[in-house]
Amino acid sequence: MAIEEYAKQVAEFVREHEIWAAPIMFALAFGESLAFISLLIPAWSFLVAIGALIGPSGINFWPIWIGGALGAASGDWLSYWIGFKLEKAVYKVWPLSKHPELIPKGENFVKKWGMLGIFIGRFSGPLRASVPLVAGIFRMPYWKFQAANFSSAFVWAAVLLLLGDIIGKIVDWLWGRI
CA distances from 134 to 7, 35, 77, 90, 120 (A): 30, 10, 12, 10, 14
- Predicted model pTM: 0.87
Other beta carbons less than 10 A from residue 126's beta carbon: 12
Tell me: pLDDT of 10 over 80.
Answer: no
| Residue 170: pLDDT over 70 | yes
16: left (phi over 0), alpha (psi -120 to 50) or beta: alpha
> Hey, where are the domains in the chain?
3-177
Does the pLDDT at position 115 exceed 80? yes
H-helix segments, the chain = 3-16, 21-33, 44-51, 54-57, 61-86, 102-122, 125-128, 130-137, 142-177
Mean pLDDT of 123-135: 83
